[in-house]
Chain A
């Protein structure tokens, strides 16, 4: 059986070397098609400059001209028979939505820091967002050690500051690696130029870092996407988010409280006895009700109760603040609703973590707060820490993202 791919986002401040590190990993794991390498060699020759590894991922003309990643990209490599997807995330302040687009697809992260420059605004913000997105596995790399002549003294000083910052965020990194993406030190083998470092080199750390164990059994949550008429049969299309669903079991549909029986589980032409979390399947139910998109099917013994009030943590991305006693448009899984902002508390600056106000009437760009909501329309959700897919939401206006949220209670 083929192993799953590890998806890793590379986060950090602009110019700290995210794209260069990805280029280096592709190069040193021998993952590049000949044409891609010769393309950047040609650019280097024609411009009379050093080989620009970042151009391997920064493929837009504008990105190369401005020497800056504009949008997130993904690229694959293989090392020791294991597959990895690297997600490059822009480090520019104005491009947080693109960083989130990349990071929200990752299960682990590399936070990269220019060892000469130390912790900068986006280093701190990205670290906060990694934590908020629920990414539990983190490797920190202190890049550009070549500019510090690979000195232990400088590494030690920065490492201490870094660890105390991460501790304040409640993050325990898997490891901290001093390296040079440009020179290829501590990437595929231990660097001879930093004999004082006895930890793991980057690829070794990526290989050894284990995904967080999924705790315990979760109740059945099946999310309804659509109802589809296939010949004479009405099939409920959707995805098992957690737990498992069995043929002939009794179930309850929320928010309508309707009781049903699962007559059959259909996966293409197969008739299945059971389906598990992660599967996109079809259900034939009795009675053959029409179920609205966004509905959740669960076991009658552990139903998901609709809610009219909930608390969340919000990261705000819009120049227009979120205000109390106003409405906002929320999407939670396949549900959409206008919700009213009841309270904004613990408003903090997402880079310094400084408390801006214990209670506030508004939440501004790049700030984080606890927000309590009320809704007339009953909504289905779980705490993010319990079932992630049911515990996360976005605040939107006309197709544009204003904020992201996770449900805390």
Chain B
């Protein structure tokens, strides 16, 4: 089995394991390349029809291209989409004008809390990868969060061989990370192999492209002429820039990501 097929098979196994164990689950789709890849693999795992809802956490600050992509593929792929918004915070005008920390925590983490409370999901599938960020590299495949969404990163459950935490205590939910073992380059090679659609922002226009996408005010493009997947792959093989170097929330403080994630950020 080749490298990409090996990664894919493990992810399929984990997605099915999550569904077999918990049934009442959802997949978090930011509409970026990673979660779109996870969604693609979930479709493959269940022969074209994903048997659980897809959540999009909508901060209302996303790029217009992201909303357009969402609209198009919800229809084509027949997704059961749930849009989660923190309406009280949006009404109170929370925005990236405050600290990134406050904004991310309120419009993403708190929005997810509202959604989780409403639907009672026992587990969430997320497309985070170890090589994205040092804090994400510390994650488990099946990672519990308590009722307050706290991540107890100083005492995580053991995860030996293929034995993942199989039960969630009352009020707890599990974050399941079926793509933890993928690298950025793996994702693009897989997108190329499978011909997975990607938001246009990833491709160079006027000498710039986005390497990581999210909310428009907090993402900066990089200088790049890569306007095809092949060119992106070539670029990634030689770059010394970090994948999330254009993401403002990672930069406010060295430990901002740790603080955000310990409170339930993705």
Contact = CB atoms under 8 A, between A and B. Distances in A.
B158 A98 contact: yes
B77 interface: no
A226 B16 contact: yes
Interface residues of B, number: 55
Interface string A397-409: 0011100100000
B51 A59 contact: no
Majority secondary structure, B binding face: loop
A404 B2 contact: no
A281 B6 CA distance: 13
B130 interface: yes
Contact of A75 (B137, B165, B258): B137
Nearest to A70: B154
A153 interface: no
B44 A268 contact: yes
A2 interface: yes
Interface of A is mostly: mixed
Contacts of A282: 47
A2 B241 contact: no
Which of A36, A61, A280, A331: most chain B CB closer than 10 A?
A280
A62 B154 contact: yes
B16 A237 contact: yes
Nearest to B2: A1
Contacts of B189: 2
B47 A266 contact: yes
A34 B245 CA distance: 10
Interface string B39-50: 000011111110
A2 B20 contact: no
Nearest to B243: A33
Interface in B175-199: 181, 183, 189
Nearest to A400: B157
A398 B163 CA distance: 14
Contacts of B254: 39
Given A35-B242, A280-B12, A75 B160 contact: no
A34 B222 CA distance: 14
Given A237-B16, A268-B47, A399 B167 contact: yes
A404 B160 contact: yes
B153 A399 contact: no
B20 A293 contact: yes
Contacts of A35: 241-242, 245
Interface in B227-266: 239-243, 245, 254-255, 258
Contacts of A97: 158
A59 B138 contact: yes
Given A75-B137, A404-B160, A60 B153 contact: yes
B160 A104 contact: yes
Contacts of B4: 2
Contacts of B140: 101
A235 interface: yes
Contacts of B255: 61
Interface string A267-304: 11100000010111010000000000100000000000
B159 interface: yes
A228 interface: yes
A125 to B, nearest CB: 16
Contacts of A404: 160
Contacts of B134: 36, 57, 59, 73
A186 interface: no
Of the listed residues B161, B169, B189, the one surrounded by the most CB atoms of chain A closer than 10 A to its CB is B161
B20 A225 contact: yes
B225 interface: no
A399 B243 CA distance: 35
A269 B166 CA distance: 30
Nearest to A30: B240
B51 A4 contact: no
Nearest to B10: A280
Nearest to A56: B134
A100 B160 contact: yes
Given A3-B3, A399-B157, A33 B242 contact: yes
Given A34-B241, A71-B156, A394 B163 contact: yes
B137 A73 contact: yes
A373 to B, nearest CB: 17
Contacts of A279: 1, 9
Interface of B: 1-4, 6, 9-10, 12-13, 16-17, 19-20, 43-49, 51, 130-131, 134-135, 137-138, 140, 144, 153-154, 156-163, 165-167, 169, 181, 183, 189, 239-243, 245, 254-255, 258
Interface of A: 1-5, 32-36, 39, 57, 59-62, 70-76, 83, 85, 97-98, 100-101, 104, 225-226, 228, 230, 235, 237, 239, 266-269, 276, 278-280, 282, 293, 317, 331, 333, 389, 392, 394, 399-401, 404
13 contacts: A60-B154, A72-B138, A75-B137, A76-B131, A225-B13, A225-B17, A228-B47, A230-B48, A268-B48, A280-B10, A280-B45, A392-B161, A400-B158
Given A1-B3, A399-B167, 12 more contacts: A33-B243, A39-B254, A73-B137, A100-B160, A226-B16, A230-B47, A230-B48, A239-B13, A278-B1, A394-B161, A399-B166, A399-B169
